[in-house]
Structure 1
Amino acid sequence: MSCQPGSSLEEDKAFLLLALHSSSETLGVAVQDCRDPKTSRRTATFPLGRGLSNSLLNCVEELLPAASWPQLARLAVAIGPGGFTGTRLTVVMARTLAQQLGCSLDGVSSFALMAPRLAVALSHEQMEQPFWIVKSLPRRGTVAGRYQLQMAADVGAAKAVVELESPHLLAEDFKAFPALDAQDDVAKDVEHLLELCAVAHSLGQEVAWTDVLPVYPTSPVVVSS
Protein backbone atom coordinates (compact mmCIF):
# COMPACT_ATOMS: atom_id res chain seq x y z
CA MET A 1 0.00 0.00 0.00
CA SER A 2 1.45 3.38 -0.98
CA CYS A 3 1.04 6.17 1.53
CA GLN A 4 -0.10 8.72 -1.04
CA PRO A 5 -2.46 7.71 -3.85
CA GLY A 6 -0.54 7.60 -7.10
CA SER A 7 2.92 8.08 -5.57
CA SER A 8 5.83 5.67 -5.60
CA LEU A 9 7.40 4.17 -2.52
CA GLU A 10 10.67 5.90 -3.35
CA GLU A 11 8.95 9.30 -3.37
CA ASP A 12 7.09 8.75 -0.12
CA LYS A 13 8.76 10.35 2.85
CA ALA A 14 5.80 9.90 5.21
CA PHE A 15 4.72 6.30 5.60
CA LEU A 16 3.84 5.75 9.27
CA LEU A 17 0.43 5.70 10.96
CA LEU A 18 -0.06 6.35 14.68
CA ALA A 19 -3.17 5.77 16.82
CA LEU A 20 -3.61 6.95 20.43
CA HIS A 21 -6.34 5.99 22.92
CA SER A 22 -6.48 7.34 26.47
CA SER A 23 -10.20 7.60 27.24
CA SER A 24 -9.77 5.27 30.22
CA GLU A 25 -6.96 4.87 32.74
CA THR A 26 -5.06 2.76 30.21
CA LEU A 27 -3.12 4.34 27.36
CA GLY A 28 -3.20 2.50 24.06
CA VAL A 29 -0.64 3.14 21.31
CA ALA A 30 -0.61 1.54 17.85
CA VAL A 31 1.83 2.08 14.98
CA GLN A 32 1.94 0.80 11.41
CA ASP A 33 4.21 1.24 8.41
CA CYS A 34 1.76 1.53 5.53
CA ARG A 35 4.35 0.19 3.08
CA ASP A 36 4.21 -3.11 4.95
CA PRO A 37 0.93 -3.19 6.90
CA LYS A 38 0.77 -6.94 7.48
CA THR A 39 4.00 -7.32 9.44
CA SER A 40 4.76 -3.84 10.76
CA ARG A 41 1.78 -3.28 13.08
CA ARG A 42 2.69 -2.87 16.72
CA THR A 43 0.39 -2.13 19.65
CA ALA A 44 0.95 -1.64 23.37
CA THR A 45 -1.10 -0.66 26.40
CA PHE A 46 0.10 1.15 29.50
CA PRO A 47 -1.98 1.22 32.74
CA LEU A 48 -0.90 4.73 33.69
CA GLY A 49 -3.91 6.11 35.54
CA ARG A 50 -3.09 9.61 36.74
CA GLY A 51 0.49 9.21 35.57
CA LEU A 52 -0.38 9.79 31.92
CA SER A 53 0.79 13.39 31.85
CA ASN A 54 4.30 12.39 32.96
CA SER A 55 4.59 9.24 30.86
CA LEU A 56 2.72 9.89 27.60
CA LEU A 57 5.72 10.86 25.48
CA ASN A 58 7.91 8.06 26.81
CA CYS A 59 5.20 5.46 26.14
CA VAL A 60 4.70 6.66 22.57
CA GLU A 61 8.46 6.59 22.02
CA GLU A 62 8.56 2.93 23.09
CA LEU A 63 6.75 2.14 19.84
CA LEU A 64 7.75 5.14 17.74
CA PRO A 65 10.90 7.11 18.63
CA ALA A 66 10.59 10.88 18.29
CA ALA A 67 13.17 10.84 15.49
CA SER A 68 10.60 8.97 13.36
CA TRP A 69 7.70 11.36 13.98
CA PRO A 70 8.45 13.40 10.80
CA GLN A 71 7.67 10.20 8.88
CA LEU A 72 4.06 10.15 10.11
CA ALA A 73 1.60 10.23 7.22
CA ARG A 74 -1.58 10.24 9.31
CA LEU A 75 -2.70 10.05 12.93
CA ALA A 76 -5.83 8.92 14.75
CA VAL A 77 -6.97 9.57 18.31
CA ALA A 78 -9.86 8.47 20.52
CA ILE A 79 -11.76 11.60 21.55
CA GLY A 80 -13.82 10.18 24.43
CA PRO A 81 -16.06 10.19 26.32
CA GLY A 82 -13.76 9.26 29.15
CA GLY A 83 -11.51 10.95 31.65
CA PHE A 84 -11.30 14.54 30.45
CA THR A 85 -7.65 15.16 31.36
CA GLY A 86 -6.40 11.88 29.93
CA THR A 87 -8.37 12.21 26.70
CA ARG A 88 -7.35 15.83 26.29
CA LEU A 89 -3.64 15.02 26.60
CA THR A 90 -3.59 12.60 23.68
CA VAL A 91 -5.89 14.83 21.61
CA VAL A 92 -3.56 17.78 22.15
CA MET A 93 -0.53 15.67 21.26
CA ALA A 94 -2.19 14.33 18.11
CA ARG A 95 -3.40 17.79 17.06
CA THR A 96 0.05 19.27 17.56
CA LEU A 97 1.77 16.56 15.53
CA ALA A 98 -0.81 16.79 12.73
CA GLN A 99 -0.49 20.57 12.62
CA GLN A 100 3.31 20.55 12.53
CA LEU A 101 3.52 17.73 9.99
CA GLY A 102 0.65 18.95 7.82
CA CYS A 103 -1.12 15.58 7.85
CA SER A 104 -4.68 14.42 8.46
CA LEU A 105 -5.95 13.53 11.93
CA ASP A 106 -8.89 11.19 12.53
CA GLY A 107 -10.88 11.66 15.74
CA VAL A 108 -13.15 8.76 16.70
CA SER A 109 -15.26 8.46 19.84
CA SER A 110 -14.35 5.70 22.25
CA PHE A 111 -17.95 4.43 22.05
CA ALA A 112 -17.75 4.15 18.25
CA LEU A 113 -14.55 2.13 18.62
CA MET A 114 -16.12 -0.35 21.02
CA ALA A 115 -19.44 -0.58 19.15
CA PRO A 116 -18.46 -3.40 16.74
CA ARG A 117 -17.20 -5.73 19.47
CA LEU A 118 -20.12 -4.99 21.81
CA ALA A 119 -22.68 -5.52 19.06
CA VAL A 120 -22.15 -9.29 19.15
CA ALA A 121 -24.36 -9.31 22.27
CA LEU A 122 -27.35 -8.10 20.24
CA SER A 123 -29.90 -10.40 18.68
CA HIS A 124 -29.75 -10.81 14.91
CA GLU A 125 -32.76 -8.50 14.49
CA GLN A 126 -31.32 -5.86 16.82
CA MET A 127 -27.95 -6.00 15.07
CA GLU A 128 -29.57 -4.78 11.87
CA GLN A 129 -31.07 -1.76 13.64
CA PRO A 130 -29.58 1.25 15.48
CA PHE A 131 -28.48 0.57 19.04
CA TRP A 132 -27.14 2.56 21.96
CA ILE A 133 -23.99 2.34 24.03
CA VAL A 134 -24.52 3.77 27.51
CA LYS A 135 -22.41 4.61 30.52
CA SER A 136 -23.57 5.91 33.91
CA LEU A 137 -21.65 8.86 35.30
CA PRO A 138 -21.69 9.34 39.09
CA ARG A 139 -23.82 12.35 40.02
CA ARG A 140 -24.12 13.29 36.34
CA GLY A 141 -26.55 10.93 34.66
CA THR A 142 -26.17 8.63 31.67
CA VAL A 143 -24.02 9.37 28.65
CA ALA A 144 -24.90 7.50 25.47
CA GLY A 145 -24.18 7.32 21.75
CA ARG A 146 -26.30 5.76 19.00
CA TYR A 147 -24.78 3.43 16.40
CA GLN A 148 -25.55 1.17 13.48
CA LEU A 149 -23.37 -1.49 11.92
CA GLN A 150 -22.27 -0.63 8.40
CA MET A 151 -22.98 -3.59 6.16
CA ALA A 152 -21.92 -2.10 2.81
CA ALA A 153 -19.34 -4.20 1.01
CA ASP A 154 -17.33 -1.17 -0.12
CA VAL A 155 -16.79 0.34 3.32
CA GLY A 156 -13.20 -0.87 3.39
CA ALA A 157 -13.22 -2.04 7.00
CA ALA A 158 -14.82 -5.25 8.23
CA LYS A 159 -15.94 -3.73 11.53
CA ALA A 160 -17.18 -0.31 10.41
CA VAL A 161 -20.06 1.39 12.19
CA VAL A 162 -21.95 4.60 11.63
CA GLU A 163 -22.20 6.96 14.60
CA LEU A 164 -25.77 8.22 14.32
CA GLU A 165 -25.54 10.30 17.49
CA SER A 166 -22.27 11.15 19.20
CA PRO A 167 -22.05 10.48 22.96
CA HIS A 168 -24.05 12.94 25.03
CA LEU A 169 -25.97 13.09 28.31
CA LEU A 170 -29.47 11.70 28.01
CA ALA A 171 -32.53 13.37 29.42
CA GLU A 172 -33.55 11.68 32.68
CA ASP A 173 -36.82 10.35 31.25
CA PHE A 174 -35.32 8.97 28.03
CA LYS A 175 -34.94 5.18 27.78
CA ALA A 176 -32.32 4.04 25.31
CA PHE A 177 -33.15 0.71 23.63
CA PRO A 178 -31.55 -1.54 22.73
CA ALA A 179 -28.70 -0.47 24.95
CA LEU A 180 -25.28 -1.98 25.64
CA ASP A 181 -23.10 -1.00 28.58
CA ALA A 182 -19.80 0.59 27.62
CA GLN A 183 -16.88 -1.76 28.27
CA ASP A 184 -13.25 -0.75 27.86
CA ASP A 185 -10.82 -2.95 25.97
CA VAL A 186 -8.12 -0.50 24.98
CA ALA A 187 -5.89 -3.11 23.33
CA LYS A 188 -8.62 -4.07 20.85
CA ASP A 189 -9.99 -0.58 20.41
CA VAL A 190 -6.69 1.14 19.66
CA GLU A 191 -5.98 -1.52 17.04
CA HIS A 192 -9.42 -0.89 15.55
CA LEU A 193 -8.62 2.83 15.56
CA LEU A 194 -5.44 2.15 13.63
CA GLU A 195 -7.40 0.07 11.11
CA LEU A 196 -9.82 2.95 10.54
CA CYS A 197 -6.87 5.31 10.13
CA ALA A 198 -5.31 3.02 7.54
CA VAL A 199 -8.54 2.74 5.56
CA ALA A 200 -9.08 6.51 5.54
CA HIS A 201 -5.47 7.00 4.46
CA SER A 202 -5.71 4.50 1.61
CA LEU A 203 -8.86 6.29 0.39
CA GLY A 204 -7.12 9.66 0.50
CA GLN A 205 -9.64 11.15 2.92
CA GLU A 206 -8.37 14.43 4.33
CA VAL A 207 -9.39 15.51 7.84
CA ALA A 208 -8.18 18.78 9.35
CA TRP A 209 -6.61 18.62 12.81
CA THR A 210 -8.75 21.62 13.80
CA ASP A 211 -11.88 19.45 13.53
CA VAL A 212 -10.75 17.01 16.24
CA LEU A 213 -11.83 17.91 19.79
CA PRO A 214 -12.45 15.88 22.97
CA VAL A 215 -15.98 14.64 23.67
CA TYR A 216 -16.94 15.77 27.13
CA PRO A 217 -20.72 15.84 27.74
CA THR A 218 -21.69 18.65 30.08
CA SER A 219 -25.45 19.01 29.82
CA PRO A 220 -28.39 16.74 29.04
CA VAL A 221 -29.79 16.78 25.52
CA VAL A 222 -33.36 15.75 24.89
CA VAL A 223 -33.48 13.05 22.22
CA SER A 224 -36.33 11.24 20.59
CA SER A 225 -36.62 7.61 19.62
Structure 2
Amino acid sequence: MREADAYGLALQSASPQLGAAVGAIGGELRTQSWDLGWELATHLQLCLAQFLPPLAWRDLSWLAVAIGPGSFTGTRAGVATARVLAQQLALPLFGISTLAAVARSQPALLQPEGTIAVRMPARRNQQFGAIYRVTPDGQGLLPALADTAMTAADWQQTLAAQPADCQVVEAPPQLGATASGVWHLAARAWQQGERPHWSQAAPFYGQHPVG
Protein backbone atom coordinates (compact mmCIF):
# COMPACT_ATOMS: atom_id res chain seq x y z
CA MET A 1 0.00 0.00 0.00
CA ARG A 2 1.21 3.49 -0.84
CA GLU A 3 1.80 5.80 2.12
CA ALA A 4 -0.71 8.25 0.61
CA ASP A 5 -3.37 5.55 0.95
CA ALA A 6 -2.50 4.69 4.57
CA TYR A 7 -5.38 6.16 6.55
CA GLY A 8 -4.90 6.34 10.29
CA LEU A 9 -7.25 7.11 13.18
CA ALA A 10 -5.99 8.70 16.41
CA LEU A 11 -7.81 8.98 19.75
CA GLN A 12 -7.20 11.35 22.66
CA SER A 13 -9.23 10.56 25.78
CA ALA A 14 -6.88 11.66 28.57
CA SER A 15 -9.20 14.50 29.63
CA PRO A 16 -12.99 14.94 29.88
CA GLN A 17 -12.84 16.17 26.28
CA LEU A 18 -12.58 13.38 23.72
CA GLY A 19 -10.62 14.09 20.56
CA ALA A 20 -10.21 12.19 17.30
CA ALA A 21 -8.20 12.72 14.13
CA VAL A 22 -8.31 10.78 10.89
CA GLY A 23 -6.53 11.18 7.59
CA ALA A 24 -4.11 9.76 5.08
CA ILE A 25 -0.41 10.55 5.23
CA GLY A 26 0.18 13.54 2.98
CA GLY A 27 -3.53 14.30 2.82
CA GLU A 28 -6.03 16.40 4.74
CA LEU A 29 -6.39 15.69 8.45
CA ARG A 30 -9.93 15.78 9.83
CA THR A 31 -10.37 16.38 13.57
CA GLN A 32 -13.20 16.72 16.07
CA SER A 33 -13.63 17.14 19.82
CA TRP A 34 -16.52 16.28 22.14
CA ASP A 35 -17.00 17.70 25.65
CA LEU A 36 -18.26 14.54 27.34
CA GLY A 37 -17.16 14.99 30.94
CA TRP A 38 -17.82 11.95 33.11
CA GLU A 39 -19.72 10.29 30.25
CA LEU A 40 -16.67 9.98 27.99
CA ALA A 41 -16.31 6.23 28.47
CA THR A 42 -20.02 5.72 27.78
CA HIS A 43 -20.14 7.69 24.53
CA LEU A 44 -16.63 7.10 23.15
CA GLN A 45 -17.50 4.34 20.69
CA LEU A 46 -20.64 6.12 19.46
CA CYS A 47 -18.66 9.30 18.80
CA LEU A 48 -16.09 7.36 16.78
CA ALA A 49 -18.77 5.59 14.77
CA GLN A 50 -20.31 8.95 13.86
CA PHE A 51 -16.95 10.59 13.18
CA LEU A 52 -15.34 8.03 10.87
CA PRO A 53 -17.68 8.22 7.80
CA PRO A 54 -17.34 8.56 4.89
CA LEU A 55 -14.46 6.23 5.70
CA ALA A 56 -15.18 2.68 6.83
CA TRP A 57 -13.23 0.73 9.43
CA ARG A 58 -11.77 -1.42 6.65
CA ASP A 59 -10.19 1.70 5.10
CA LEU A 60 -7.83 2.19 8.05
CA SER A 61 -4.21 1.03 8.00
CA TRP A 62 -3.29 1.93 11.57
CA LEU A 63 -4.64 3.25 14.86
CA ALA A 64 -3.11 5.47 17.54
CA VAL A 65 -4.14 6.39 21.07
CA ALA A 66 -2.90 8.73 23.78
CA ILE A 67 -1.73 6.53 26.66
CA GLY A 68 -1.43 9.26 29.30
CA PRO A 69 -0.65 10.85 31.61
CA GLY A 70 -4.05 12.37 32.23
CA SER A 71 -7.46 11.29 33.44
CA PHE A 72 -7.31 7.75 34.81
CA THR A 73 -10.81 6.85 33.64
CA GLY A 74 -10.57 8.52 30.23
CA THR A 75 -7.12 7.15 29.48
CA ARG A 76 -8.14 3.64 30.45
CA ALA A 77 -11.29 3.81 28.31
CA GLY A 78 -9.44 5.16 25.28
CA VAL A 79 -6.64 2.62 25.43
CA ALA A 80 -9.06 -0.27 25.98
CA THR A 81 -11.21 0.82 23.03
CA ALA A 82 -8.20 1.25 20.75
CA ARG A 83 -6.80 -2.16 21.72
CA VAL A 84 -10.11 -3.88 20.94
CA LEU A 85 -10.41 -2.11 17.59
CA ALA A 86 -6.82 -2.89 16.63
CA GLN A 87 -7.26 -6.53 17.58
CA GLN A 88 -10.54 -6.91 15.68
CA LEU A 89 -9.25 -5.07 12.59
CA ALA A 90 -5.76 -6.65 12.74
CA LEU A 91 -4.12 -3.21 12.65
CA PRO A 92 -0.98 -1.85 14.32
CA LEU A 93 -1.67 0.38 17.32
CA PHE A 94 0.63 3.24 18.29
CA GLY A 95 0.61 4.29 21.96
CA ILE A 96 1.54 7.98 22.15
CA SER A 97 2.43 10.04 25.22
CA THR A 98 -0.13 12.71 26.01
CA LEU A 99 2.68 15.17 26.73
CA ALA A 100 4.33 14.44 23.38
CA ALA A 101 0.96 14.95 21.68
CA VAL A 102 0.61 18.35 23.38
CA ALA A 103 3.99 19.41 22.01
CA ARG A 104 3.41 18.03 18.50
CA SER A 105 -0.04 19.61 18.19
CA GLN A 106 1.49 23.11 18.24
CA PRO A 107 3.40 23.57 14.94
CA ALA A 108 4.88 26.91 16.05
CA LEU A 109 6.96 25.04 18.64
CA LEU A 110 8.58 22.68 16.15
CA GLN A 111 11.85 24.48 15.58
CA PRO A 112 14.39 22.05 14.07
CA GLU A 113 16.70 20.69 16.79
CA GLY A 114 14.92 22.85 19.37
CA THR A 115 13.86 21.81 22.87
CA ILE A 116 10.30 21.64 24.20
CA ALA A 117 9.37 21.15 27.86
CA VAL A 118 5.80 20.09 28.61
CA ARG A 119 4.17 20.29 32.03
CA MET A 120 0.84 18.92 33.24
CA PRO A 121 -0.67 19.17 36.75
CA ALA A 122 -0.74 15.90 38.69
CA ARG A 123 -2.12 14.76 42.02
CA ARG A 124 -0.57 15.03 45.46
CA ASN A 125 1.15 18.38 44.84
CA GLN A 126 3.13 16.99 41.93
CA GLN A 127 3.22 17.55 38.21
CA PHE A 128 4.07 15.55 35.13
CA GLY A 129 6.94 16.79 33.03
CA ALA A 130 8.74 15.73 29.87
CA ILE A 131 11.49 17.18 27.69
CA TYR A 132 11.64 16.68 23.92
CA ARG A 133 14.20 17.48 21.24
CA VAL A 134 12.74 18.36 17.86
CA THR A 135 14.17 16.33 14.99
CA PRO A 136 16.25 18.16 12.33
CA ASP A 137 13.34 18.08 9.87
CA GLY A 138 11.06 19.80 12.40
CA GLN A 139 8.46 17.03 12.26
CA GLY A 140 9.34 14.56 15.02
CA LEU A 141 10.10 14.54 18.73
CA LEU A 142 12.81 12.64 20.58
CA PRO A 143 12.33 12.26 24.36
CA ALA A 144 15.21 13.68 26.38
CA LEU A 145 13.25 13.17 29.61
CA ALA A 146 10.42 10.66 29.55
CA ASP A 147 7.11 11.47 31.23
CA THR A 148 7.83 11.78 34.96
CA ALA A 149 5.87 12.82 38.06
CA MET A 150 7.87 15.31 40.13
CA THR A 151 7.59 18.22 42.53
CA ALA A 152 7.49 21.83 41.37
CA ALA A 153 11.03 22.30 42.69
CA ASP A 154 12.31 19.31 40.73
CA TRP A 155 10.62 20.62 37.58
CA GLN A 156 12.27 24.01 37.96
CA GLN A 157 15.61 22.31 38.44
CA THR A 158 14.99 20.26 35.30
CA LEU A 159 14.15 23.39 33.31
CA ALA A 160 17.28 25.14 34.56
CA ALA A 161 19.38 22.42 32.93
CA GLN A 162 17.81 22.94 29.49
CA PRO A 163 19.10 25.18 26.67
CA ALA A 164 18.27 28.87 26.94
CA ASP A 165 15.88 28.66 23.98
CA CYS A 166 13.85 25.82 25.52
CA GLN A 167 10.13 26.41 24.95
CA VAL A 168 7.97 25.62 27.98
CA VAL A 169 4.39 24.48 27.38
CA GLU A 170 1.51 23.94 29.80
CA ALA A 171 -0.83 21.11 28.85
CA PRO A 172 -4.38 22.46 28.51
CA PRO A 173 -7.10 21.07 30.80
CA GLN A 174 -9.08 19.96 27.74
CA LEU A 175 -6.94 17.78 25.48
CA GLY A 176 -9.26 16.90 22.60
CA ALA A 177 -7.46 19.16 20.12
CA THR A 178 -4.18 17.33 20.76
CA ALA A 179 -5.52 14.30 18.89
CA SER A 180 -3.78 15.88 15.91
CA GLY A 181 -0.47 15.52 17.75
CA VAL A 182 -1.22 11.86 18.48
CA TRP A 183 -1.93 11.35 14.77
CA HIS A 184 1.19 13.13 13.50
CA LEU A 185 3.55 11.25 15.83
CA ALA A 186 1.98 7.92 14.91
CA ALA A 187 2.05 8.75 11.19
CA ARG A 188 5.75 9.50 11.41
CA ALA A 189 6.40 6.18 13.14
CA TRP A 190 4.34 4.41 10.46
CA GLN A 191 6.42 6.06 7.73
CA GLN A 192 9.56 4.84 9.49
CA GLY A 193 8.33 1.27 9.27
CA GLU A 194 7.06 0.73 12.80
CA ARG A 195 4.12 -1.66 13.13
CA PRO A 196 3.47 -2.12 16.89
CA HIS A 197 1.20 -4.92 18.03
CA TRP A 198 -1.96 -3.78 19.82
CA SER A 199 -0.85 -5.51 23.03
CA GLN A 200 2.07 -3.08 23.40
CA ALA A 201 -0.23 -0.09 24.03
CA ALA A 202 -0.79 0.30 27.78
CA PRO A 203 -1.97 3.24 29.89
CA PHE A 204 0.67 5.36 31.58
CA TYR A 205 -0.75 6.75 34.80
CA GLY A 206 2.49 7.94 36.38
CA GLN A 207 0.89 7.89 39.82
CA HIS A 208 -1.22 5.36 41.67
CA PRO A 209 -4.90 6.30 41.20
CA VAL A 210 -5.55 5.90 44.93
CA GLY A 211 -3.77 7.76 47.66
The verdict on a shared fold, with TM-score over 0.5 as the criterion, is yes
Equivalent residues of 2:14, 2:98 under 8 A apart: yes
TM-score (norm 2): 0.78
User: Is 1:26 aligned with 2:14?
Assistant: no
Alignment of 1:76-115 (within 5 A): 76-115=64-103
Alignment of 1:56-205 (within 5 A): 56-64=44-52, 68-116=56-104, 128-129=114-115, 132-138=117-123, 140-153=124-137, 158-170=138-150, 174=154, 175-178=157-160, 180-184=169-173, 186-205=175-194
Aligned to 2:207: 218
| SS of 1:176 mapped into structure 2 | helix
Cα offset for 1:19?
Answer: 0.3
Cα offset for 1:45?
Answer: 0.3
C-alpha offsets along residues 181-217 of structure 1, whole Å, 9 cap, x if unaligned? 3225635421122222222223321112121111101
Please give the alpha-carbon distance, in whole angstroms, between the structure 2 residues aligned to 1:195 and 1:217. Answer: 23
Equivalent residues of 1:79, 1:107 under 8 A apart: yes
Equivalent residues of 2:131, 2:144 under 8 A apart: yes
Question: Structure 1 vs Structure 2: percent identity of aligned residues?
Answer: 29
Please give the alpha-carbon distance, in whole angstroms, between the structure 2 residues aligned to 1:118 and 1:71. Answer: 28
Please give the alpha-carbon distance, in whole angstroms, between the structure 1 residues aligned to 2:153 and 2:184. Answer: 37
Cα offset for 1:117?
Answer: 5.9
Unaligned runs of 5+ in 2: 161-167
Paired residues, what number? 197
Identify if the C-alpha distance between structure 1 residues 48 and 79 changes in structure 2 by more than 3 Å, giving closer, same or farther. same
Unaligned runs of 5+ in 1: 10-14, 220-225
TM-score (norm 1): 0.74
Alignment of 1:33-52 (within 5 A): 33-34=24-25, 37-39=26-28, 41-52=29-40
Across the aligned residues of Structure 1 and Structure 2, the Cα RMSD in angstroms comes to 3.0
* Alignment-mate amino acid for residue 13 of structure 2: S
| SS of 2:159 mapped into structure 1 | coil
| SS of 2:58 mapped into structure 1 | helix
Q: Which has the larger radius of gyration?
A: 1
Please give the alpha-carbon distance, in whole angstroms, between the structure 2 residues aligned to 1:44 and 1:119. Answer: 18
* Alignment-mate amino acid for residue 213 of structure 1: A
